[in-house]
Amino acid sequence: MRPLLTTVKAAAVAAAVLLVPVIASVDARAQEHEVIHLPDTKFTFEGPFGTFDRASAQRGFQVYKEVCSACHSMRQLSYRNLSGIGLNATQIAALASQFQVQDGPNDNGEMFERPARASDRFRRPFQNDAAARAANNGALPPDLSVMIKAREGGADYVHALLVGYEDPPPGVTIAEGMHYNKYFPGHQIAMAAPLNTEGQVEFADGTKATIDQMATDVVTFLSWAAEPELEQRRAMGVRMVIFLTILGGLVYAVKRKVWANLHQDTQ
């Protein structure tokens, strides 16, 4: 009898051991498919008549330059594109000259470094993806050029992600090298909180740099970068709606006139 009980106990222990990773896997999948409700951040560029707040976008570029650009590239933007957020040619030239970019080859067939010009693309923080992974524990920081369009939830999601870092709730274990974020799918993200201290950036216009303000401003800048022609498209859309409304009214008036004349001719 005892050997049978021993066998049953051993089988139960083995089953429990085998079920642990299964339960953990199911729990991980449940977290990945968890419905996360993003806070609705009110941005000036939302809605059919929304426009970009140029002052906010300029502050957002400052946040990107001083914080985000240490890891994230924006390969689709050139410095001259910053005229779209209100910088003039002199400001852009002075800003670009702060960065060193690779050029060449020279007369000796060698590559060399020089100050960036307005026509140059934003300087990349790493020479290649392998170098980026090596500097970030194997994680590849994504390019931010069209990040707002690439993520479900757009501007609201990116803003929530930036302000969503907090201590994990009781009972939640965070893997080594990961960080808890209540708005990230699965809640474990490799990127540490980039905006973590009030006053982390000193804005030139005197705006108080709270974490929420910095997040709002950098999201405004990234939204402009992803769709710099947004305002022009909306303006064109409004003009087309007005034109079609007037045209529809004229067509209806002509139709009424034509049918009225036909009715009189038949009497």
Residue 192 located in a structural domain: yes
Q: Half-sphere exposure of 190 toward its Cβ, with a 13 Å CA cutoff?
A: 10
Alpha carbon distance 14, 7 (integer Å): 10
- Give me the domain span that covers residue 243: 233-267
In a domain, 20, yes or no: no
Query: Which secondary structure element, helix H or strand E, spans residue 179, and what is its range?
Result: strand 179-180
**Tens digit of each residue's pLDDT (9 = 90 or more) over 85-142:** 999 999 999 999 999 988 888 888 888 899 999 999 999 999 899 999 998 888 899 9
Is there a domain that residue 99 lies in? no
Two tokens at 258? 């034509």
C-alpha to C-alpha distances, 138 to 52, 85, 177, 185, 193, nearest whole angstrom? 36, 34, 10, 19, 17
Residues in the chain, overall count: 267
Question: Is the confidence at residue 208, as pLDDT, over 70?
Answer: yes
In a domain, 4, yes or no: no
Residue 82 domain-assigned? no
Phi, psi values for residue 112, rounded to 5°: -145, 165
Check whether residue 181 and residue 244 sit in a common domain: no
Residue recorded with tokens 């709002």:
216
Residues 55 and 173 in one domain: yes
Instruction: Establish if 178 belongs to a structural domain.
Output: yes
Question: Do 42 and 58 fall into the same domain?
Answer: yes
pLDDT at 20: 40
One domain, residues 170 and 240? no
Could you tell me if 59 and 141 lie in one domain? yes
Contact status, residue 210 vs residue 163, Cβ threshold 8 Å: no
Tell me how crowded residue 102 is: count the other CB atoms within 10 A of its CB. Answer: 11
Task: Find out whether 218 and 68 touch, Cβ atoms under 8 Å.
Answer: yes
User: How many domains does the chain divide into?
Assistant: 2
Whether residues 157 and 246 fall in one domain? no
The CATH number for 164's domain is: 1.10.760.10
Four-CA torsion 199, 200, 201, 205, nearest 10 degrees = -10
pLDDT, tens only, 161-202: 999 999 999 999 999 889 999 999 999 999 999 999 999 999
Encode pLDDT of 241-251 as tens digits. Answer: 888 999 888 88
pLDDT at 24: 42
Residues 144 and 219 in one domain: yes
pLDDT at position 194, please?
96
Number of Cβ within a 10 Å radius of residue 125: 15
Percent of the chain with pLDDT over 90: 61
- Percent over 70 (pLDDT), the chain: 86
Query: 239 falls in which pLDDT band (50, 70, 90)?
Result: confident
208 and 131 assigned to the same domain: yes
Average of per-residue pLDDT across 219-237: 89
